[in-house]
Structure 1
Amino acid sequence: MILRVWHGWAAGAQAAAYEELLNTTIAPGILRRGIPGLRELDVLRGASDVDGTEFVTLMVFDDWAAVREFAGDDLTGSVVPPAARALLSRYDEHAQHFELVHRHRADDSARCA
Structure 2
Amino acid sequence: MIKRIWHGWTTPENAETYSEILTNVVIPAIEAKAIAGYLGIEVLRRDLESEIEFITIMSFRSRSDIIAFLGQDYERSYVPDVARTVLKRWEQTAQHYELCTKRSHKE
TM over 0.5: yes
The higher radius of gyration belongs to: 1
Instruction: After TM superposition, list the pairs within 5 Å mapping 1:1-113 onto structure 2.
Output: 1-50=1-50, 52-107=51-106
Q: CA deviation at 1:65?
A: 1.0
Q: Which residue of 2 aligns with 1:110?
A: none
What letter matches 1:65 in structure 2?
Answer: S
- Structure 1: where are the runs of 5+ without partners? 108-113
The percent identity for this pair of structures is 36
CA distances 1:69-95 after superposition (whole Å, capped 9, x unpaired)? 112211210010111111100000000
Give the secondary-structure state (helix, strand or coil) at the position aligned to 1:36: coil
Query: Does the CA contact (< 8 Å) of 1:39 and 1:62 recur in 2?
Result: yes
Runs of 4+ in 1 over 2 A off after TM superposition: none
What's the TM-score once normalised by structure 1's chain length?
A: 0.89
Query: Does the CA contact (< 8 Å) of 1:71 and 1:78 recur in 2?
Result: no
Name the count of aligned residue pairs: 106
- Structure 2: where are the runs of 5+ without partners? none
CA distance in 2, matches of 1:32, 1:43: 18
